[in-house]
């Protein structure tokens, strides 16, 4: 495990903050001052300012994020944060982001390796959104969303699309671009009025009220690891229903 990840697992700082501690020469591994490229193996002794460290147990949390809460650990404007809302005894951080006005499923964990894999586009982790837009959706708009929409940072990958009502749809993506759903819908002429993530990587919000959270079961964690290990060689093209 890379040293900055080890320090983050020990709960002393974020990975970026851990890099600052390493640069300052405050971290030793097996008695030697460590560098940014240092890796930690089982049995290694890691010290910060002479104090021995050990990684915290891994924790995995599913939050039903309400509107008005920002997806970060701290907010300079004093807004409520998802980390503060969870208040877990471990230092868990969100996997990816949801806009402040977006509600729904958000995973938080201190398992940095798994989080990195879940966010990497090669593993094509499904994110299922329920979207309410302005205006009535035409079949052509749904087809364009399914086939991919040309955005300023390139064309989006094919998506799965299902009509839920005249101005409502379900959109399943495996990309994670900034404001992607909002930009896609605006790109086909239907700005988003309300956005809710119903499911993430197979995790749903069943039985979980807005603002509430729960620990994942062992089976759910195993399923996440499986998703973040096996890359699908092909992905069916998007469909409109």
pLDDT digits (tens, 9 = 90+) for 129-144: 999 999 999 999 999 9
148 in the same domain as 195: yes
Number of domains in the chain: 2
112 in the same domain as 38: no
pLDDT at 239 over 60: no
Taking the C-alpha atoms of 88, 90, 66 and 196 in order, what is their torsion angle to the nearest 10 degrees? -140
36 in the same domain as 101: no
Of residues 176 and 199, more confidently modeled: 199
148 in the same domain as 136: yes
pLDDT at 237 over 60: no
Mean pLDDT, to the nearest integer, of 10-31?
Answer: 91
138 in the same domain as 20: no
pLDDT at position 125 is 93
11 in the same domain as 97: no
- Dist CA 147 CA 228 (whole Å): 25
152 in the same domain as 77: yes
134 in the same domain as 26: no
Of residues 5 and 214, more confidently modeled: 214
37 in the same domain as 105: no
Residues 85-128 have pLDDT tens digits of 998 888 899 999 999 999 999 999 988 889 888 988 888 899 99
Q: Bridge partners of 33? A: 28
Q: What is the CATH number of the domain that holds 28?
A: 3.10.290.10
Q: Which residue has the tokens 């970026």?
A: 16
29: tokens are: 């591994």
Mean pLDDT, to the nearest integer, of 52-69?
Answer: 93
Mean pLDDT, to the nearest integer, of 2-21?
Answer: 87
pLDDT at 232 over 90: no
What is the domain range of residue 26? 3-53
Mean model confidence pLDDT for the chain: 91
- Dist CA 113 CA 239 (whole Å): 32
119 in the same domain as 12: no
| Residue 141: CB atoms within 10 Å | 21
What is the set of active-site residues? 99
Question: Which range is least confidently modeled, 79-83, 114-118, 149-153, 234-238?
Answer: 234-238
pLDDT at position 238 is 53
């Amino acid at each position: 495990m890379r040293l900055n990840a080890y320090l983050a697992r020990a709960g002393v700082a974020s990975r970026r903050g851990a890099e600052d501690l390493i640069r300052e020469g405050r971290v030793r591994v097996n008695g030697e001052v460590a560098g940014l490229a240092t890796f930690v193996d089982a049995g290694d002794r890691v010290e910060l300012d002479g104090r021995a460290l050990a990684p915290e147990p891994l924790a995995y949390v599913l939050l039903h994020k309400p509107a008005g809460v920002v997806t970060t650990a701290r907010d300079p404007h004093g807004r409520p944060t998802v980390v503060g809302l969870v208040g877990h005894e471990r230092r868990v951080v969100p996997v990816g982001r949801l806009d402040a006005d977006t509600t729904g499923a958000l995973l938080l964990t201190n398992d940095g390796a798994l989080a990195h894999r879940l966010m990497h586009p090669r593993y094509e982790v499904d994110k299922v959104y329920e979207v309410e837009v302005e205006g009535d959706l035409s079949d052509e708009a749904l087809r364009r969303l399914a086939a991919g929409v040309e955005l300023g940072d390139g064309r989006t990958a094919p998506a799965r699309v299902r009509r839920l009502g005249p101005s409502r749809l379900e959109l399943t993506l495996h990309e994670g671009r900034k404001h992607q759903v909002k930009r896609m819908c605006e790109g086909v002429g239907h700005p988003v009025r309300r956005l809710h993530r119903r499911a993430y990587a197979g995790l749903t919000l069943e039985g979980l009220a807005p603002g509430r959270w729960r620990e994942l079961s062992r089976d759910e964690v195993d399923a996440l690891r499986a998703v973040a290990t096996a890359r699908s060689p092909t992905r069916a093209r998007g469909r409109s229903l």
